[in-house]
Amino acid sequence: MPSSRFVRLLFSPGPKKSTAMKWVTIISFVILLSFAESRILHKRDHHEGHHDDHDHGPETKLLVGNIFTLLGNTNFQYLGMVIFSQLLQLCPYEEHVERVKHVTELADLCSKGAKRADCGHTVLRVALDEVCKAPENAEKYPFHAECCAKPEAERYPCFVSHQLTEPGAVPAYTRPEPEQLCKHHDEHKDTFMLNYIYEVARRHPQVYAPAIITIARNFDAITHECCKDTATAGQCFTEKMPAHVKELKIVSAIQKHNCYVLKAFGERVLSAMKLIHTCQKYPAASFANVQEIVQSIAHLHKTCCSGDMMGCMIERLHLTTRTCEKKDRISKHLKDCCDKDVIERSACIVKMENDEKPADLSPQVREYLEGPDVCKHYADEKDLYLAKFSCDYAKRHPEFSLQLLLRVSKGYQDLLTKCCAEENSHDCLIKGEEALKKEIESSTTLLKTTCAAFEKLGPYSFQNELLVKYTRNIPQLTDESLLHITSGMTRIGQKCCKIPEEKQMPCSEGSLSLVIGEMCEKMPANFPNEKVTHCCSDTYGNQRPCFTALGPDEKYVPPKLSDDSFHFTDALCTASSEEDLNHKKQTFLIHLMKHKPDITEEQRTKVITDFLTMKEHCCKADNHAECFAVEGPKLIEKWAELLGVLPEVKIHV
Residues 6+ apart with CB under 8 A from 98: none
What is the Cβ-side half-sphere exposure of residue 592, based on CA atoms within 13 angstroms? 27
Extents of the domains making up the chain: 32-358, 570-643
Q: Looking at residues 255-267, what average pLDDT do you find? A: 76
- Who wins on pLDDT, 222 or 565? 222
How far apart (Å, rounded) are the C-alpha atoms in residues 25 and 196? 30
Closest CA to 91 of 26, 144, 33: 144
C-alpha span between 22 and 46 (Å, rounded): 32
> How does residue 446 score in pLDDT terms, banded at 50, 70 and 90?
very high
pLDDT range class, residue 28, cuts 50, 70, 90: very low
Taking CA atoms, 40 is separated from 294, 317, 331, 340, 614, in Å, by 8, 10, 14, 17, 64
Indicate the pLDDT class of residue 651, thresholds 50, 70 and 90: very low
Write out the H or E segment, with its range, that includes residue 534.
helix 530-536
Task: Mark residue 21 as left, alpha or beta (left: phi above 0; alpha: psi -120 to 50; beta: remaining).
Answer: alpha
Is 54's pLDDT higher than 50?
no
The pair phi, psi for residue 368, each rounded to 5°, is -80, -10
**What is the sign, positive or negative, of the torsion defined by CA atoms of 104, 105, 110, 112?**
positive
How far apart CA 422 and CA 425 sit, in angstroms, is 5
Beta carbons within 8 Å of 253's beta carbon, 6+ residues apart = 28, 31, 514
Higher pLDDT among residues 281 and 307, named by residue: 281
Q: Specify the pLDDT at position 257.
A: 75
Per-residue confidence band for 645, with pLDDT thresholds at 50, 70 and 90: low
63 by DSSP, 3-state: which?
A: strand
Find the length of the chain.
Answer: 653
- Band (pLDDT 50/70/90 cuts) for residue 250 is confident
Residue 52 has pLDDT above 50, yes or no: no
**HEC letters along 589-631:** HHHHHHHCCCCCHHHHHHHHHHHHHHHHHHHHCCCHHHHHHHH
Identity of residue 170:
V
Residue 47 has pLDDT above 50, yes or no: no
SS3 647: strand
Q: What percent of the chain has pLDDT over 90?
A: 58
Interatomic CA distance for residues 128 and 159, integer angstroms: 9
Buried b / exposed e over 377-387, threshold 16 CB at 10 Å, is bbeeebbbbbb
How far apart, in Å, are the Cα atoms of 562 and each of 566, 642, 648?
8, 17, 5
Q: Give the residue-averaged pLDDT of 71-83.
A: 94
CB 100 within 8 A of CB 81: yes
What integer pLDDT is reported at residue 516 of this predicted model?
83
Mean pLDDT to the nearest integer, 552-570: 82
**Burial call 309-326: b when 16+ CB within 10 Å, e when fewer:** bbbbbbbbbbbbbbbbeb
Q: Model confidence over 409-442: pLDDT tens digits?
A: 999 999 999 999 999 999 999 998 888 899 999 9
Residue 268: predicted pLDDT: 82
- The rounded mean pLDDT for the chain is 85
Strand partners, 63: 122
| Residue 41 in this model has a pLDDT that exceeds 80 | no
pLDDT at 72 over 70: yes
pLDDT band at 12 (very low <50, low <70, confident <90, very high): very low
Binding-site residues for Ca(2+): 308
Residue 30 has pLDDT above 60, yes or no: no
Residue 567 DSSP SS3: coil
What is the mean pLDDT of the segment spanning 316-329?
88
More confident residue, 283 or 266: 283
Check: CB of residue 556 under 8 Å from CB of residue 475.
yes
Average the pLDDT over 281-300 and give the result. Answer: 89
Do 316 and 346 contact (CB within 8 A), yes or no? Answer: yes
| Cα torsion 641, 642, 645, 648: sign | negative
pLDDT of 261 over the 90 cut: no
Enter the DSSP assignment of 503: H
pLDDT surpassing 80 at residue 44: no
Residues in binding site for Cu cation:
47
Annotated binding site: 47, 308
Q: Which residue has the higher pLDDT, 104 or 574?
A: 104
pLDDT, tens digit (0-9, with 9 covering 90-100), for 348-360: 988 899 999 999 9
Q: List the CATH code of the domain at 570-643.
A: 1.10.246.10
Q: What mean pLDDT do residues 241-269 have?
A: 81
Distance, C-alpha 51 to centroid of its chain = 34
Share of the chain above pLDDT 70, in %: 89
Give the helix ranges, DSSP H, for 352-424: 367-370, 374-381, 383-396, 402-419
pLDDT at residue 38 tops 50: no
Residue 4 has pLDDT above 50, yes or no: no
What is the band of 2 on the pLDDT scale with cuts at 50, 70, 90? very low
Predicted local distance difference test score (pLDDT) of residue 564: 64
Residues linked to residue 122 through DSSP beta bridges, in sequence order: 63
Mean pLDDT, residues 370-396: 95
- 555-570: average pLDDT: 80
Looking at per-residue confidence, does 167 or 615 come out higher?
615
* Distance in angstroms between the alpha carbons of the first and the last residue of the chain: 67
Q: How far apart are CA 646 and CA 653, in angstroms?
A: 18
Binding residues for Zn(2+): 308
Task: Give dist(CA 519, CA 313) in Å, integer.
Answer: 30
Average pLDDT over residues 47-74: 63
d(CA 167, CA 180): 27
Confidence of residue 562 (pLDDT cuts 50, 70, 90): low
The pLDDT of residue 274: 87
